[in-house]
Amino acid sequence: MARVIPYFIFAAFCVLAASLLPAPVARAQAAASDAAREAGIRLLGAARGYATAALWLRAEDAYARSDLHETRAMHQVIRELQPRNPAVYGFQAWNEGYNLAAQFPEPERRAEWVIRGLNTLHTGQRLIPNEASLRLDEWHYLLGRTQSFPVEILREQAKSYGGQDRTWAVIVETICKLEAGLAVAERAKLREFVEEVGLRPEFAIDFDELKAFVPVYKPGEDRPESVEVPEFTALPENARRALALANWARWHCMLMVLEPVIHLRVRSSSTDKALMLSYYVAQKTLPPGGDKYAEEYRAGARKAYAAGVENARRMGGDKSVAEFIDVQQTNFADLPGWLE
Protein backbone atom coordinates (compact mmCIF):
# COMPACT_ATOMS: atom_id res chain seq x y z
CA MET A 1 0.00 0.00 0.00
CA ALA A 2 2.87 2.34 0.82
CA ARG A 3 4.13 1.99 -2.76
CA VAL A 4 0.73 3.00 -4.15
CA ILE A 5 0.34 6.22 -2.14
CA PRO A 6 2.82 8.27 -4.25
CA TYR A 7 0.87 7.35 -7.39
CA PHE A 8 -2.38 8.56 -5.82
CA ILE A 9 -0.71 11.83 -4.91
CA PHE A 10 0.69 12.19 -8.42
CA ALA A 11 -2.68 11.39 -9.98
CA ALA A 12 -4.46 13.92 -7.78
CA PHE A 13 -1.87 16.57 -8.61
CA CYS A 14 -2.30 15.90 -12.34
CA VAL A 15 -6.06 16.29 -12.05
CA LEU A 16 -5.59 19.56 -10.18
CA ALA A 17 -2.99 20.89 -12.61
CA ALA A 18 -5.10 19.93 -15.62
CA SER A 19 -8.07 21.78 -14.16
CA LEU A 20 -6.01 25.00 -14.08
CA LEU A 21 -5.24 24.94 -17.81
CA PRO A 22 -7.16 27.46 -19.94
CA ALA A 23 -10.49 26.16 -21.18
CA PRO A 24 -13.01 27.47 -23.73
CA VAL A 25 -15.49 29.92 -22.26
CA ALA A 26 -18.56 27.78 -21.73
CA ARG A 27 -20.57 27.18 -18.61
CA ALA A 28 -20.58 23.42 -18.90
CA GLN A 29 -16.84 23.23 -19.41
CA ALA A 30 -16.22 25.70 -16.59
CA ALA A 31 -18.35 23.58 -14.27
CA ALA A 32 -16.43 20.47 -15.32
CA SER A 33 -13.14 22.24 -14.65
CA ASP A 34 -14.31 23.28 -11.17
CA ALA A 35 -15.45 19.74 -10.45
CA ALA A 36 -12.09 18.33 -11.57
CA ARG A 37 -10.26 20.85 -9.41
CA GLU A 38 -12.30 19.97 -6.34
CA ALA A 39 -11.91 16.24 -7.04
CA GLY A 40 -8.15 16.63 -7.30
CA ILE A 41 -7.94 18.52 -4.02
CA ARG A 42 -10.14 15.98 -2.24
CA LEU A 43 -8.09 13.11 -3.65
CA LEU A 44 -4.94 14.61 -2.13
CA GLY A 45 -6.56 14.44 1.30
CA ALA A 46 -4.01 14.46 4.09
CA ALA A 47 -1.21 14.61 1.54
CA ARG A 48 -2.22 18.17 0.61
CA GLY A 49 0.34 19.56 3.06
CA TYR A 50 3.16 17.58 1.45
CA ALA A 51 2.08 18.64 -2.04
CA THR A 52 1.92 22.28 -0.96
CA ALA A 53 5.36 22.13 0.64
CA ALA A 54 6.76 20.63 -2.57
CA LEU A 55 5.15 23.39 -4.62
CA TRP A 56 6.61 26.12 -2.37
CA LEU A 57 10.06 24.56 -2.83
CA ARG A 58 9.57 24.41 -6.58
CA ALA A 59 8.38 28.03 -6.64
CA GLU A 60 11.47 29.10 -4.70
CA ASP A 61 13.69 27.13 -7.07
CA ALA A 62 11.99 28.68 -10.10
CA TYR A 63 12.43 32.15 -8.61
CA ALA A 64 16.11 31.46 -7.96
CA ARG A 65 16.44 30.47 -11.63
CA SER A 66 14.62 33.70 -12.63
CA ASP A 67 11.86 31.62 -14.19
CA LEU A 68 9.19 34.09 -13.12
CA HIS A 69 6.36 32.56 -15.13
CA GLU A 70 6.90 29.15 -13.53
CA THR A 71 7.01 30.89 -10.15
CA ARG A 72 3.64 32.46 -10.88
CA ALA A 73 2.22 29.13 -12.07
CA MET A 74 3.34 27.43 -8.84
CA HIS A 75 1.75 30.19 -6.76
CA GLN A 76 -1.51 29.76 -8.64
CA VAL A 77 -1.59 26.04 -7.85
CA ILE A 78 -0.74 26.75 -4.20
CA ARG A 79 -3.69 29.16 -4.13
CA GLU A 80 -5.93 26.27 -5.14
CA LEU A 81 -4.55 24.07 -2.40
CA GLN A 82 -4.39 26.76 0.30
CA PRO A 83 -6.88 29.49 -0.65
CA ARG A 84 -6.79 30.88 2.90
CA ASN A 85 -3.04 31.23 3.12
CA PRO A 86 -2.33 34.98 2.91
CA ALA A 87 1.36 34.51 2.12
CA VAL A 88 0.70 33.12 -1.36
CA TYR A 89 -1.26 36.23 -2.39
CA GLY A 90 1.50 38.50 -1.16
CA PHE A 91 4.24 36.53 -2.94
CA GLN A 92 2.28 36.33 -6.18
CA ALA A 93 1.37 40.02 -6.12
CA TRP A 94 5.01 41.03 -5.71
CA ASN A 95 6.12 38.64 -8.44
CA GLU A 96 3.51 40.03 -10.84
CA GLY A 97 3.81 43.69 -9.94
CA TYR A 98 7.59 43.91 -9.79
CA ASN A 99 9.40 40.95 -11.36
CA LEU A 100 7.08 40.08 -14.23
CA ALA A 101 6.27 43.73 -14.93
CA ALA A 102 9.98 44.46 -15.35
CA GLN A 103 10.23 41.90 -18.18
CA PHE A 104 8.41 44.21 -20.62
CA PRO A 105 9.93 47.31 -22.23
CA GLU A 106 6.52 48.83 -23.03
CA PRO A 107 5.07 50.94 -20.18
CA GLU A 108 1.55 49.76 -21.03
CA ARG A 109 2.52 46.10 -20.60
CA ARG A 110 4.32 46.83 -17.35
CA ALA A 111 1.24 48.64 -16.07
CA GLU A 112 -0.91 45.60 -16.90
CA TRP A 113 1.20 43.38 -14.65
CA VAL A 114 1.27 46.00 -11.90
CA ILE A 115 -2.54 46.02 -11.92
CA ARG A 116 -2.61 42.21 -11.92
CA GLY A 117 -0.50 42.21 -8.79
CA LEU A 118 -2.86 44.68 -7.12
CA ASN A 119 -5.89 42.58 -8.06
CA THR A 120 -4.19 39.47 -6.65
CA LEU A 121 -4.11 41.20 -3.26
CA HIS A 122 -7.77 42.17 -3.65
CA THR A 123 -8.62 38.55 -4.39
CA GLY A 124 -6.87 37.44 -1.22
CA GLN A 125 -8.72 40.07 0.81
CA ARG A 126 -12.09 38.89 -0.51
CA LEU A 127 -11.29 35.29 0.41
CA ILE A 128 -9.73 36.16 3.79
CA PRO A 129 -11.56 39.37 4.81
CA ASN A 130 -10.16 39.53 8.36
CA GLU A 131 -6.51 39.05 7.45
CA ALA A 132 -4.67 42.25 8.45
CA SER A 133 -1.41 41.23 6.75
CA LEU A 134 -2.99 41.42 3.29
CA ARG A 135 -4.11 44.99 3.99
CA LEU A 136 -0.58 45.89 5.02
CA ASP A 137 0.72 44.17 1.88
CA GLU A 138 -1.57 46.38 -0.19
CA TRP A 139 -0.35 49.47 1.70
CA HIS A 140 3.28 48.62 0.89
CA TYR A 141 2.33 47.79 -2.69
CA LEU A 142 0.71 51.20 -3.15
CA LEU A 143 3.63 52.96 -1.50
CA GLY A 144 6.06 51.32 -3.91
CA ARG A 145 4.18 51.07 -7.18
CA THR A 146 2.50 54.50 -7.16
CA GLN A 147 5.96 55.98 -7.53
CA SER A 148 6.07 54.75 -11.14
CA PHE A 149 2.39 54.11 -11.93
CA PRO A 150 0.39 56.67 -9.92
CA VAL A 151 -2.40 57.31 -12.42
CA GLU A 152 -2.87 53.67 -13.42
CA ILE A 153 -3.08 52.45 -9.83
CA LEU A 154 -5.41 55.21 -8.66
CA ARG A 155 -7.70 54.52 -11.62
CA GLU A 156 -7.85 50.85 -10.61
CA GLN A 157 -8.26 51.60 -6.91
CA ALA A 158 -11.23 53.87 -7.67
CA LYS A 159 -13.11 50.74 -8.75
CA SER A 160 -12.74 49.30 -5.24
CA TYR A 161 -12.77 52.41 -3.07
CA GLY A 162 -14.61 55.03 -5.13
CA GLY A 163 -17.95 54.16 -3.59
CA GLN A 164 -16.50 54.60 -0.11
CA ASP A 165 -15.44 58.21 -0.76
CA ARG A 166 -17.02 59.99 -3.70
CA THR A 167 -15.01 63.19 -3.21
CA TRP A 168 -11.78 61.23 -3.48
CA ALA A 169 -13.17 59.37 -6.52
CA VAL A 170 -13.95 62.67 -8.28
CA ILE A 171 -10.39 63.87 -7.67
CA VAL A 172 -9.06 60.61 -9.10
CA GLU A 173 -11.25 61.19 -12.17
CA THR A 174 -9.72 64.68 -12.45
CA ILE A 175 -6.22 63.19 -12.28
CA CYS A 176 -7.06 60.72 -15.05
CA LYS A 177 -8.55 63.47 -17.23
CA LEU A 178 -5.47 65.66 -16.77
CA GLU A 179 -3.23 62.76 -17.79
CA ALA A 180 -5.43 61.82 -20.75
CA GLY A 181 -5.47 65.44 -21.98
CA LEU A 182 -1.70 65.60 -22.34
CA ALA A 183 -0.22 65.65 -25.81
CA VAL A 184 1.81 62.61 -26.86
CA ALA A 185 5.13 64.36 -26.20
CA GLU A 186 3.90 65.64 -22.82
CA ARG A 187 2.74 62.18 -21.78
CA ALA A 188 6.17 60.82 -22.76
CA LYS A 189 7.82 63.37 -20.47
CA LEU A 190 5.51 62.36 -17.64
CA ARG A 191 6.32 58.69 -18.18
CA GLU A 192 10.04 59.45 -18.23
CA PHE A 193 9.74 61.36 -14.96
CA VAL A 194 7.86 58.68 -13.01
CA GLU A 195 10.23 55.99 -14.26
CA GLU A 196 13.52 57.80 -13.70
CA VAL A 197 12.67 60.03 -10.71
CA GLY A 198 9.36 58.68 -9.44
CA LEU A 199 6.61 60.21 -7.35
CA ARG A 200 8.66 59.66 -4.23
CA PRO A 201 6.96 59.37 -0.81
CA GLU A 202 9.04 62.21 0.65
CA PHE A 203 7.89 64.73 -1.97
CA ALA A 204 6.35 67.96 -0.68
CA ILE A 205 4.49 69.62 -3.55
CA ASP A 206 3.49 73.28 -3.53
CA PHE A 207 0.03 73.43 -5.13
CA ASP A 208 0.27 77.17 -5.89
CA GLU A 209 3.61 77.13 -7.66
CA LEU A 210 3.40 73.46 -8.72
CA LYS A 211 6.90 72.72 -7.53
CA ALA A 212 8.16 69.64 -5.72
CA PHE A 213 10.69 69.64 -2.87
CA VAL A 214 12.61 66.92 -1.07
CA PRO A 215 14.28 67.12 2.35
CA VAL A 216 18.08 67.01 2.19
CA TYR A 217 20.28 66.77 5.26
CA LYS A 218 23.59 68.62 5.02
CA PRO A 219 26.63 67.62 7.10
CA GLY A 220 26.40 69.03 10.60
CA GLU A 221 22.78 70.13 10.22
CA ASP A 222 20.02 68.77 12.50
CA ARG A 223 17.16 69.89 10.27
CA PRO A 224 16.79 69.04 6.58
CA GLU A 225 16.74 71.68 3.89
CA SER A 226 13.94 71.63 1.31
CA VAL A 227 15.50 71.30 -2.14
CA GLU A 228 13.51 71.80 -5.32
CA VAL A 229 13.21 68.89 -7.75
CA PRO A 230 14.11 70.41 -11.15
CA GLU A 231 12.84 67.41 -13.14
CA PHE A 232 9.37 68.01 -11.69
CA THR A 233 9.43 71.73 -12.50
CA ALA A 234 10.36 70.90 -16.11
CA LEU A 235 7.14 68.93 -16.63
CA PRO A 236 4.11 70.41 -18.43
CA GLU A 237 1.73 72.24 -16.07
CA ASN A 238 -1.11 69.74 -16.28
CA ALA A 239 1.31 66.86 -15.67
CA ARG A 240 2.53 68.61 -12.51
CA ARG A 241 -1.05 69.29 -11.45
CA ALA A 242 -1.98 65.63 -11.94
CA LEU A 243 1.02 64.46 -9.91
CA ALA A 244 0.33 66.97 -7.13
CA LEU A 245 -3.20 65.62 -6.75
CA ALA A 246 -2.02 62.02 -7.13
CA ASN A 247 0.51 62.54 -4.36
CA TRP A 248 -2.33 63.20 -1.91
CA ALA A 249 -4.82 60.76 -3.47
CA ARG A 250 -2.52 57.77 -3.00
CA TRP A 251 -1.98 58.52 0.70
CA HIS A 252 -5.72 58.94 1.23
CA CYS A 253 -6.25 55.63 -0.53
CA MET A 254 -3.65 54.00 1.72
CA LEU A 255 -5.70 55.30 4.64
CA MET A 256 -8.83 53.66 3.30
CA VAL A 257 -6.92 50.40 2.87
CA LEU A 258 -5.77 50.29 6.50
CA GLU A 259 -8.57 51.98 8.46
CA PRO A 260 -10.68 48.80 8.83
CA VAL A 261 -7.71 46.93 10.31
CA ILE A 262 -7.74 48.73 13.68
CA HIS A 263 -10.90 46.78 14.54
CA LEU A 264 -9.03 43.48 14.16
CA ARG A 265 -7.45 42.05 17.28
CA VAL A 266 -4.81 40.14 15.34
CA ARG A 267 -2.60 42.67 13.59
CA SER A 268 1.04 43.72 13.71
CA SER A 269 2.35 46.91 15.28
CA SER A 270 3.73 47.75 11.83
CA THR A 271 0.13 48.05 10.62
CA ASP A 272 -0.65 50.66 13.29
CA LYS A 273 2.51 52.59 12.45
CA ALA A 274 1.69 52.54 8.73
CA LEU A 275 -1.82 53.84 9.44
CA MET A 276 -0.49 56.67 11.61
CA LEU A 277 2.04 57.60 8.92
CA SER A 278 -0.76 57.69 6.35
CA TYR A 279 -2.78 60.14 8.44
CA TYR A 280 0.23 62.38 8.85
CA VAL A 281 1.32 62.44 5.21
CA ALA A 282 -2.26 62.70 3.89
CA GLN A 283 -2.69 65.82 6.02
CA LYS A 284 0.62 67.27 4.84
CA THR A 285 -0.16 66.65 1.15
CA LEU A 286 -3.80 67.79 1.35
CA PRO A 287 -4.86 69.96 -1.63
CA PRO A 288 -6.27 73.46 -1.03
CA GLY A 289 -9.91 73.34 0.07
CA GLY A 290 -9.50 70.05 1.87
CA ASP A 291 -10.72 71.29 5.26
CA LYS A 292 -13.31 68.49 5.31
CA TYR A 293 -10.54 65.92 5.35
CA ALA A 294 -8.40 67.76 7.90
CA GLU A 295 -10.98 67.21 10.64
CA GLU A 296 -11.52 63.59 9.58
CA TYR A 297 -7.77 62.96 9.64
CA ARG A 298 -7.38 64.47 13.08
CA ALA A 299 -10.21 62.37 14.54
CA GLY A 300 -8.95 59.26 12.74
CA ALA A 301 -5.35 59.75 13.90
CA ARG A 302 -6.50 60.11 17.51
CA LYS A 303 -8.54 56.91 17.26
CA ALA A 304 -5.72 55.00 15.51
CA TYR A 305 -3.23 56.23 18.11
CA ALA A 306 -5.33 54.89 20.99
CA ALA A 307 -5.83 51.58 19.18
CA GLY A 308 -2.10 51.38 18.44
CA VAL A 309 -1.21 51.89 22.09
CA GLU A 310 -3.57 49.10 23.12
CA ASN A 311 -2.22 46.77 20.45
CA ALA A 312 1.37 47.52 21.48
CA ARG A 313 0.50 46.73 25.11
CA ARG A 314 -1.17 43.47 24.08
CA MET A 315 1.79 42.41 21.96
CA GLY A 316 4.84 43.58 23.92
CA GLY A 317 3.83 45.21 27.17
CA ASP A 318 5.07 48.54 28.52
CA LYS A 319 8.26 48.56 26.47
CA SER A 320 6.36 48.29 23.18
CA VAL A 321 3.89 50.95 24.32
CA ALA A 322 6.71 53.38 25.16
CA GLU A 323 8.33 52.79 21.76
CA PHE A 324 5.07 53.33 19.88
CA ILE A 325 4.25 56.52 21.79
CA ASP A 326 7.76 57.92 21.31
CA VAL A 327 7.69 57.35 17.54
CA GLN A 328 4.25 58.89 17.10
CA GLN A 329 4.92 61.92 19.28
CA THR A 330 8.08 62.58 17.29
CA ASN A 331 6.28 62.20 13.95
CA PHE A 332 3.33 64.38 14.94
CA ALA A 333 5.38 67.06 16.72
CA ASP A 334 4.37 69.68 14.15
CA LEU A 335 0.67 68.77 14.47
CA PRO A 336 0.04 69.70 18.12
CA GLY A 337 -3.03 68.22 19.75
CA TRP A 338 -3.56 65.51 17.17
CA LEU A 339 -2.78 62.65 19.50
CA GLU A 340 -4.65 63.94 22.55
Tallying the residues shown for the chain, one arrives at 340
Q: How far is residue 173's CA from residue 286's CA, in Å, rounded to a whole number?
A: 17
Per-residue pLDDT tens digits of the chain, which is 340 residues long: 444 344 334 334 443 443 443 443 444 444 544 444 454 444 444 455 667 778 778 878 888 888 888 888 888 887 778 788 899 899 889 989 999 899 899 999 999 999 999 999 999 999 999 999 999 999 999 999 999 999 999 999 999 999 999 999 999 999 999 999 999 999 999 999 999 999 999 999 999 999 999 998 888 777 889 999 999 999 999 999 999 999 999 999 999 999 999 999 899 999 999 999 999 999 999 999 888 899 999 999 999 999 999 999 999 999 999 999 999 999 999 999 999 8
Q: How far is residue 168's CA from residue 261's CA, in Å, rounded to a whole number?
A: 20
**141, 250 in Cβ contact below 8 A?**
no
How many Cβ atoms from other residues are within 10 Å of residue 286's Cβ?
A: 18
**128, 84 in Cβ contact below 8 A?**
yes
| pTM score of the predicted model | 0.84
**312, 272 in Cβ contact below 8 A?**
yes
For the chain, how many helices (H) and strands (E)? 14, 3
User: Which amino acid is present at 117?
Assistant: G
